[in-house]
Amino acid sequence: MKTVLTTSPSQAAKFIKNGGIVAFPTETVYGLGANVFDEQAIRKIFTAKERPSDNPLIAHVASLDQIKSLVSSINQTSQKLIDAFFPGPLTLVLPKASAVPTIATAGLETVGVRMPRNKLAQEFLEECGVPLVAPSANLSGKPSPTNWEAVFEDLDGRIDCILQGETTEIGLESTVVDCIGDSPIILRKGAVTFEDIERVAPGVKIYQSNPNENPRSPGLKHRHYSPKARVVLFSSEIFQESNASISAFIGVSKFDGDFALTKICDSVTEYALSLFDFFRICDRNGIQTIYCEKVSKIGIGAALIDRIERAASDE
């Protein structure tokens, strides 16, 4: 398959209207979109990404009106979260409408809904005229793409089109919140923090996995965000000298070590934005070990540490 590169949202939308799959930028990471009501197109997403079929997709909308076509009800707390954070980097898991095919939700009776605030994403969604299911536009198991070149690296020849936008604003995937029960549960951390949500929904909890139970967010059980290299989360006190020629460092401190690749970020925000791209750069350069500096779990720091811990774990 030839993958068309374009900066035109209307050209990209034509592929969706013809049952194709298109990568597009959002403020979090690039997504790989298909018409939410087109089962055959959705199947192409799972094939292109080599994604396990038990991992549900997030539906992206251009307007609040479109949410109604995807869900069977919206409780009071969900409405408050929508009012406070849409459009933005937040996904709400809600009871699904029957029109949403079960292949999109991996058989679940719920659907994740998100309204991106990225301008190009909004234009593209409007041109498509239907909500789009869109996982991150990477091969399954690889770090999420924060620029179109990373999408190209993983999916050239496997998808119809890449809508070329800027590097994403945040660089980590959206916060996912289960809104099915009485109090919301954060399934995945992101740029909308626990504290942000707690202000609107005081009963909010953070999901704790239970080994005797199926995970609430099926995606959490799959290996994620990982480069080929070994990832080590460290604080400088416990740092031990590495084999410099095949090691890399990313963090916010001017670290006194000799590494093949070094990325010193000006802020934790820049660290979050740079992490996945740095993982890819390290893999391209044959790096064996990536040392990631520990930072405090304040603001985006909580989601950043979550992603590094997942990349560092062997599960």
CA distance 98 to 281: 43
Q: How far apart are CA 261 and CA 292, in angstroms?
A: 12
Nearer to ligand TXA, 173 or 293 (CB): 173
- CA 173 to CA 85: how far, in whole Å? 15
Binding mask 131-160 for ligand TXA (x = CB under 6 A): ---xxx------------------------
Q: Given candidates 36, 187, 268, 305, which one binds ligand TXA under the rule CB under 6 A?
A: 187
DSSP assignment string, 177-215: EE-SSSS-EEEE--SS-HHHHHHH-TT-EE----TTS--
Q: What are phi and psi of 172, to 5 degrees?
A: -120, 150
How many residues of this chain interact with ligand TXA, rule: CB under 6 A?
29
Q: Residue 268, Cβ neighbours under 10 Å: how many? A: 19
Q: Give residues 99-128 in contact with ligand TXA (rule: CB under 6 A).
A: 105, 108, 110-112, 114
Interatomic CA distance for residues 314 and 196, integer angstroms:
31
| Tokens 């593209």 found at | 124
For Mg ion, the binding residues (CB under 5 A) are 136
Which of ligand TXA, Mg ion, none does 188 bind, CB closer than 5 to 8 A by kind?
Answer: ligand TXA
- The DSSP result for 25-61, as a single string, is --SSS-EEEEETT-HHHHHHHHHHHT--TTS--EEE-
Smallest gap from Cβ 301 to ligand TXA, in A, equals 18
- CB 308 → ligand TXA: shortest distance, Å? 16
Q: Whose Cβ is closer to ligand TXA: residue 111's or residue 231's?
A: 111
* 13-21, 25-33, 159-167, 278-286 -> range binding ligand TXA (CB under 6 A): 25-33
**Signed CA dihedral, 84, 90, 93, 98: sign only:** positive
CB distance 206 to 264 below 8 Å: no
Identify the CA nearest to 42 among candidates 62, 26, 19: 19
CB of 23 to ligand TXA, least distance (A): 9
Is 188 one of the binding residues for ligand TXA (CB under 6 A)? yes
Query: Which residue in 28, 35, 118, 226 binds ligand TXA (CB under 6 A)?
Result: 28
The interface region with ligand TXA, picked from 15-23, 173-181, 225-233, 267-275 by CB under 6 A, is: 173-181
110 binds, among ligand TXA, Mg ion, none (CB under 5 to 8 A by kind): ligand TXA
SS3 for 80-101 is HHHHHHCCCCEEEEEEECCCCC
Which string of x and - marks every residue 73-102 that binds ligand TXA (by CB under 6 A)?
------------------x-x---------
β-sheet with 261-264: strand ranges across:
230-234, 289-293, 247-251, 261-264
Of 104 and 248, CB closest to ligand TXA: 104
Which option in ligand TXA, Mg ion, none does residue 87 bind, with CB closer than 5 to 8 A by kind? Answer: none
For the packed helices 301-312 and 268-284, what is the interaxial angle rounded to 10 degrees? Answer: 20
DSSP state letter for 291: E
Question: Nearer Cβ to ligand TXA, position 204 or 260?
Answer: 204
Beta partners for residue 233, in sequence order: 292
Judged by beta carbon, residue 52 or residue 299, the one nearer Mg ion is 52
Q: Which residues bind ligand TXA (CB under 6 A)?
A: 26, 28-29, 31, 55-58, 91, 93, 105, 108, 110-112, 114, 134-136, 173-174, 176, 187-188, 216-220
